[in-house]
Amino acid sequence: MQNNEDKFKKIIAHAKEYGFVFQSSEIYDGLSAVYDYAQNGVELKNNIKNYWWKSMVQMNENIVGIDSAIFMHPTVWKASGHLGAFNDPMIDNKDSKKRYRADVLVEDYMAKIEAKINKDISKARKRFGEAFDENEFRTTNGRIKDRQSKIESISGRLYGAMEAEDLKAIKTLIEDLEIVCPVSGSKNWTDVRQFNLMFSTQMGSVSEDADEIYLRPETAQGIFVNYLNVQKTGRMKIPFGIAQIGKAFRNEIVARQFIFRMREFEQMEMQFFVRPGEELKWFEHWKKRRIAWHKALGIPEENYRFHDHEKLAHYANAASDIEYQFPFGFKELEGIHSRTDFDLSAHQKFSNKKLQYFDPELNKSYVPYVIETSIGLDRMFLSILSYAYKEEKLIDGSMRVVLAIPPVLAPVKAAILPLTKKDGLPEKAREVMNTLKQDYLCQYDEKDAIGKRYRRQDAIGTPYCITVDHQSLKDNTVTIRDRDSMQQERIDISKLSEIIKEKLSIKFY
């Protein structure tokens, strides 16, 4: 059986081989943590965006969309706290010259202890068989108890130091644990320093009057500074929401795991403006709505879980992540945050402009509270690929690689395949293609044996293959093959578009 690391490597290789994701600037050996979406990737990405946009903007009469600029006035980032506090602690190894996130070094150390615990547990499970009680084993086995308490003590020191922004204490912790650089193997560390995650650049062509501006690290601030413009021009009444899809940039110190953590990525964010005091009710509402959106795709429920935050960011009074089980474990896919009035009040203070809403029902003005739903488009893309990639053994003993992408998100919806290249079949297939491409992205393919053509479509996740054969010329029917079941049915060409529409339909939440 292949392990998850192997599966992840295969997914990355498949994404490249079949035109989903390429490393940026590959001919120059690539740019770290920056990726390009290829011909199939961009379709999948656009379909995810559409699925999100429809469910937010089309399905909710009180949510509208915007598309704000990536560049914003530099004071935005002072007000939002990103200039002062959007930092990660970093540390360099003087021998290898490699840079690490100091907290990640300690977290990796804890993960190793955790792995030892898990190894002991799985050994014991094998030994005791049916009778094994994991809980009892954890609470009674001396070695496991020692290891668990070591983890607790390290995590207490780490998160305490992070909270207090005590960089010296983080360094001392790394020294006490005798953590070595994975590359040089040495303990020759620099001090821990704060590293701001925002990319900056200069605006203005003459350097003397140049002003330092930033590439936005989140799309949310473009919504906050526009909320009153939208409210007034759209005659919106609280509660209402503003949705946006766009690029965000973070100079991540440790960028790894393919498109999971990138330096340039895309977010789909929605800020929902509510009456103060009603935010926790809306927080629960959006948690339910968002998980339903994920589950409607038909991916197994056990692949998702909530992780409620105990430690909250300075601006939040409730926060929960939707985590997805990636090949490298459960990790954050989407955040749902109750951001209070932190951002709007800060912008009111820094801009000296009133950002209050007049509530006609209450007959008073206030700064609204905000519930945010924020999902990384690239992480959503990776979750779909991770679920979809399957290696299947067929009845005849051969293997196929299939991407079981939910049909509504699949890059190409149908392939039109003449059984042979002669007898007028290509002409008939072209007719079908010309009609269907009015409604769906289709591919026409007449090269190679039909089985090989099916495999090519399976590998990019095309849900339906339509084969034009000799019978088609006689009675105007074709066969339609379902990607997952590989079953074929014969249908009238005039009904094709309608049948595909039915198959692609999805209920929006």
We find the least distance from the C-beta atom of residue 388 to ligand ATP, in angstroms, to be 18
Q: Which is nearer to ligand ATP, 341 or 378 (CB)?
A: 378
Residue 222 engages ligand ATP in binding (rule: CB under 6 A): no
Per the rule left: phi > 0, alpha: psi between -120 and 50, beta: everything else, 91 is beta
Residue 114 CB, nearest distance to ligand ATP (Å)? Answer: 19
Residue closer to ligand ATP by CB (options 324, 464) is 324
Out of 355, 375, 425, 442, the only residue in the binding site for ligand ATP (CB under 6 A) is 375
- Residue 446 phi/psi, 5-degree rounding, is -120, 5
Of 70 and 117, which CB lies nearer to ligand ATP in the complex structure?
Answer: 70
State which of residues 14, 157, 250, 428 lies at the interface with ligand ATP (CB under 6 A): 250
Among 48, 63, 262, 318, binds ligand ATP (CB under 6 A): 262
Cβ 249 to ligand ATP, closest distance in Å?
9
Quote the least distance from Cβ 221 to ligand ATP, whole Å: 12
Widest CA span in the chain: 81
The least CB distance from residue 376 to ligand ATP, in Å, is 2
Per CB under 6 A, contacts with ligand ATP among 355-374 are 374
Apex 57 CA angle, 52 and 61, nearest 5: 145
Q: Which residue has the tokens 């392939």?
A: 415
The nearer residue to ligand ATP, 287 or 379, going by C-beta atoms, is 379
Query: What is the number of the residue whose Cβ is closest to ligand ATP?
Result: 376
DSSP per residue, 321-379: EEEEEETTEEEEEEEEEEEETHHHHHHHHHH-----EEETTTTEEEPPEEEEEEEEHHH
Number of residues that bind ligand ATP (CB under 6 A): 16
Give least dist CB 95 to ligand ATP, A. Answer: 28
Q: How far is the CB of 76 from ligand ATP (least distance, A)?
A: 16
* Residues from 377 through 406 that contact ligand ATP (CB under 6 A): 378-379
User: What is the Cα–Cα distance from 287 to 279, expressed in whole angstroms?
Assistant: 12
State which amino acid sits at residue 264.
E
CB nearer to ligand ATP: give 111 or 449.
111
Cα 387 to Cα 14, 47, 326, 327: the distances in Å are 13, 16, 8, 9
Please, which residue, 334 or 469, has the CB nearer to ligand ATP? 334
Which one, 325 or 374, has the nearer CB to ligand ATP? 374
Return the number of the residue (337 or 481) whose C-beta is nearest ligand ATP. Answer: 337
Tokens coding 39:
């011909």
Stretch 317-346 residues interacting with ligand ATP (CB under 6 A): 332-335
Give backbone dihedrals phi and psi of 240, rounded to 5 degrees, phi first. -145, 165
Compute the least distance from the CB of residue 195 to ligand ATP, in Å. 14
Applying CB under 6 A, which of residues 108, 252, 278, 431 lies at the interface with ligand ATP? 252
The CB-of-380 to ligand ATP minimum distance in angstroms stands at 7
Q: Is 113 helix (H, G, I), strand (E, B) or coil?
A: helix
Judged by CB under 6 A, does residue 265 bind ligand ATP? yes
- Token pair 């003993």: residue: 397
Query: What is the closest distance, in whole angstroms, from the C-beta atom of residue 172 to ligand ATP in the complex?
Result: 25
**Distance in angstroms (rounded) separating the CA atoms of residues 295 and 304:** 9
Stretch touching ligand ATP by CB under 6 A, among 22-30, 90-98, 262-270, 395-403: 262-270
Residue of 80, 93, 221, 267 interacting with ligand ATP (CB under 6 A): 267
Burial 210-240 (b: 16+ CB within 10 A, else e): eeebbbbbbbbbbbbbbbbebbeeeebebbb
Instruction: Note the residue count of the chain.
Output: 509
Q: Is 462 among the residues that bind ligand ATP (CB under 6 A)? A: no
Pairing mode, strands 318-326 and 329-340: antiparallel
* 272 close to 372: Cβ distance less than 8 angstroms: yes
Tell me the one-letter amino acid at 274.
V
Q: Which C-beta is closer to ligand ATP: that of 262 or that of 466? A: 262
Q: Quick one: 250 or 428, whose CB is closer to ligand ATP?
A: 250
CB 271 within 8 A of CB 241: yes
What is the layout of strands, in order, in the sheet containing 87-92?
99-101, 87-92, 193-196
Of the pair 246, 411, the CB lying nearest ligand ATP is at 246
**Tokens 């340039």 sit at which residue?**
264
Chain positions contacting ligand ATP, by CB under 6 A = 218, 250, 252, 261-262, 265, 267, 332-335, 374-376, 378-379
